[in-house]
A = this chain, B = another copy of it.
């Protein structure tokens, strides 16, 4: 099967240094979407991609998104839409990635210059955006180039959608995806996104599910302004006293959510599903290493993975309006806003969850008998996503993993949300596959972000191989 892969792989190895050079050029452009002053660099990065794609013979459009909401003086960076091939006899795969990056400053604690790709003696390639998501985005370009240089026919038509605002809420992207679903993306047969990570460092995975996230605020107010605790302590209801009690009523120290009725919304665990967790390449040591401590809730990996993927969780993020600086300040804060979120899973519907949470908060506050005022606010909601891992899109990817990495991939879900996944599924009606390139130790969003050379180069092979197996999958496989 996929007989031309060996020469493709060979070509990737031959070109590996130039592929690293391409990543070096991309990392050198500080395309930080959250930083207004870096906006020209974000645009420059989009133009760099467009130029590389044109050189490779792709049809490229820089699609403007207009002004940035709430920052009308700022133009959003363009979405790079590209097509490579338009053979009606081939399948068409739509791939998504993003070319913007998280902020990074040497002072934050980086061991190297964050915007200079620095490869150490173990092949760890450090640099902001190396793994999130410039490495994977360039992976598709590199796959095209290796096919060309090896003289192998490209197995599919490739549609590309690379955005420049992912790290800042993907402003404007949803509308574009919905608008292009019947236009630029019209012939897509399936979608592939490479913007997440392996569960560990050794075994690749395919990801078929994500938790959603509903984010809430509880605002408790009383006095007209902050008060001095010497003057008013002991005479007035204090908003902080009420807030920590309401926040404390949401979840217990063992992670059990205490909101009445919430459990009943969660899809029951079947024996079949239960049996899947034992085989996943994950150990408690993996958890402890990434936690940086041994403070896990559960002693076994099965329950830990379920806690991360298939059960809801509730985290208390912090309090706005209270004293939060170092030192000591004898203030009674007048208005405090507690922030928390719930990671939601099948079959929790957003509205049902919100109703239960609001009812719980109101009841918990009422029980305090406080004269303060409590306001419950839904900040934002995001649905969970689960795809069918039996679809040919996944089957092809699994074969590619086995060919490149000599091992069957784990089928995983993720605890976090990647909202664009659901948007692509809903807009195109096609199966979406998450096919990660990097590993769990890549430190996306942290200092010292890196992509291992091995994951990059074998990842380029994987993306190409995936497209070859996609081309071979029977048309009538499970949709």
Contact = CB atoms under 8 A, between A and B. Distances in A.
A247 B243 CA distance: 10
Most chain B CB within a 10 A radius of its CB, from A222, A324, A380: A324
Contacts of A233: 308, 313-315, 343, 415
Contacts of A329: 317-318, 339
Interface string A364-386: 00001111100000011000000
How large, as a class, is the contact surface on chain A? 35 or more
Contact of A231 (B240, B252, B341, B416): B416
A223 B293 contact: yes
B292 A224 contact: yes
Given A330-B215, A417-B230, A371 B295 contact: yes
A463 to B, nearest CB: 23
A315 B370 CA distance: 15
A312 B253 contact: no
Interface in A228-250: 228-238, 240-242, 244-245, 247-248
Contacts of A315: 229, 233, 238, 240-241, 330, 332
A267 interface: no
Interface in A280-313: 287, 290-298, 304, 307-308, 311-313
B311 A234 contact: yes
A213 B330 contact: yes
A129 to B, nearest CB: 17
Contact of A319 (B297, B324, B328, B369): B324
A278 B58 CA distance: 87
B253 A308 contact: no
A237 B224 contact: no
A228 B315 CA distance: 10
A238 to B, nearest CB: 6
A381 to B, nearest CB: 11
A415 B316 contact: no
Contact of A380 (B314, B320, B328): B328
Contacts of A380: 328
A416 to B, nearest CB: 2
B324 A320 contact: yes
A383 to B, nearest CB: 14
A236 B299 CA distance: 11
Interface string A406-421: 0000000011110000
A255 interface: yes
A291 B226 CA distance: 9
A296 B235 contact: yes
A318 B319 contact: yes
A477 interface: no
Contacts of A369: 253-254
A303 B253 CA distance: 37
Contacts of A318: 240, 319, 322-324, 329, 331, 333
Interface of A: 211, 213, 215, 222-238, 240-242, 244-245, 247-248, 251-255, 287, 290-298, 304, 307-308, 311-326, 328-334, 339, 341, 343, 368-372, 379-380, 414-417, 445-446
Closest 3 CB pairs of A and B: A224-B292, A230-B416, A234-B313
5 contacts: A222-B291, A224-B292, A234-B311, A240-B315, A295-B371
